[in-house]
Structure 1
Amino acid sequence: MDSLTFGRVTVTLPHLNEPGLYLSNVTTLDSARGMVQDFQYGDAELRALDLAETRLITGRISNVRADRVQLDQVRLDSVEFDSCDLAAARITDSKLSRVVFRNCKIMGAGLNGVTLDNVLFDNCKLDYTTFEQIRATGPVAFSKCGLTEASFTGCDLGGAVLDTCVLRLTEFGRGKYQGLDLRHNDLTTLRGVANLGKVLIDRTQQAELAEALVAELDVTFADTLDDR
């Protein structure tokens, strides 16, 4: 089974190239049975992609653009999203296992109450996205992703890594971040630095975290005061 390693985190990828596996082309991800398996879906422009209480198992979704995406109580197992535009997606109360988002735009999205296990966001645009009550029960990696002004609130990301991401004004609210790997990122403009106890960084990043904390505290430097 294929996997990728980022620092101390190894993510198991969807097994879509196994010998004997055939992915059938489908024209919709809706199913009366509530389950779509061994599928391939792509090259579609949609007004809305709404799925509720649905399970997608072993499949590839590629080149899909949707104006509105709502996934509620959805289970994704061994699924790959490639070059999709899922702007402002809303994903709630769902579980993702062995899922890859590659070269996707998911800007201004909202993920709430989602469990992640062996999930990779690879070269994705996740700017302005809110992550609330996200729980990493297995390896999770964000690699070369844009997370400008994204926010994490009430999340458990102890088994996650952010590798070479853009973290401009990215905010970390209260949560569990012990062991979160933040190496290979510029941390100078992070927000919520005080909530990042026991994360993993390089020694060279100490100054970056200090700069972020000083900016957040909005301190005044004495040498800038008017002495008159």
Structure 2
Amino acid sequence: MEKNKTKIAKPKINDDLDSIYISRENVIDEVMFSSGIISECSLENLQGNRVEFKQVIFKNVIFNNITFRNIDLTDVKFQNCDLSNVDFIEASVYRVEFINCKIIGINLSEATLRDVIFDNCNGEYAFFSHSNCKQVAFLQCQLRSADFQNSMFSKVEFKESNLLMAQMNFTKLKGIDFTSCEIEGIGVNIADVNGVIVTPMQAISISSILGLIIK
């Protein structure tokens, strides 16, 4: 049985990868790193615009004070990485996996996400506002107080995830199944929840947020 219902394309990464070394000297605007592995290190105080990573594996990497706006991630895996508070605003993210990662406060606002899996990640206070998400799965993730406002969802899945106090105002949730998730305090508008799939108890919780009185 598949862990997630949504059919998501896996990253296409070659088996034979060279090690990639990243420093302030080789991170410049529009630089590309490809076909390699970055592991067991800390990346600190780096800035760049339109940096590209293609067919790259990040393993046990700590990102500290990283600003890669308009980053292009294609066929990339993040395994056991700490990407807390990184600035990836307006990112292009295609066939990417985040596995067992810490992404607290990550900024993926205005990003385009296609075929992306977040599996067992801590994404509390993460920013996905104004993002465009298609074929994206959040599996067993902590997303408390995450911001998904004004986003576009198509074939997006949340499974066994904590969405307490998450903000999804002005994001159409039709067809989204929240029945395995915690959604108390979720921020939504009446128009947002048309066609959403919830349990009876979750429906009562949402109704109270919207100011409805059930007798």
TM range (shorter): 0.7 to 0.9
1:190 aligns with 2:209: no
1:27 aligns with 2:25: no
- Who wins on radius of gyration, i.e. which is larger? 1
TM-score under structure 1 length normalisation: 0.83
Deviations 1:86-120 (A, max 9, x none): 11111112210000011111112222110010000
**Paired AA for residue 80 in structure 1:** K
- The match for 1:133 is 130
Q: Which runs of 5+ in 2 are unaligned?
A: none
Question: After superposition, where does 1:1-228 map in structure 2 within 5 Å?
Answer: 6-7=4-5, 9-16=6-13, 18=14, 21-28=15-22, 30=26, 34-136=31-133, 138-192=134-188, 194-202=190-198, 205-215=199-209, 217=211
Q: Distance in 2 between matches of 1:180 and 1:145?
A: 16
Secondary structure of residue in 1 paired with 2:88: strand
**Paired AA for residue 103 in structure 1:** N
**Paired AA for residue 173 in structure 1:** N
TM-score under structure 2 length normalisation: 0.87
Alignment check: 8 A CA contact 1:63 1:84 kept: yes
Alignment check: 8 A CA contact 1:193 1:213 kept: no
Deviations 1:123-150 (A, max 9, x none): 00000112111102x3100000001111
Q: How many angstroms does 1:193 deviate by?
A: 5.2
Q: Distance in 2 between matches of 1:122 and 1:70?
A: 23
Q: How many angstroms does 1:180 deviate by?
A: 2.6
Q: Which has the higher strand share?
A: 1
User: Identity across aligned pairs (percent)?
Assistant: 20
The RMSD of aligned alpha carbons is 2.4
Q: Distance in 2 between matches of 1:158 and 1:181?
A: 12
Secondary structure of residue in 2 paired with 1:157: strand
- The match for 1:226 is none
Comparing 103-112 and 116-125, the one that deviates more: 103-112
Q: Distance in 2 between matches of 1:175 and 1:212?
A: 15
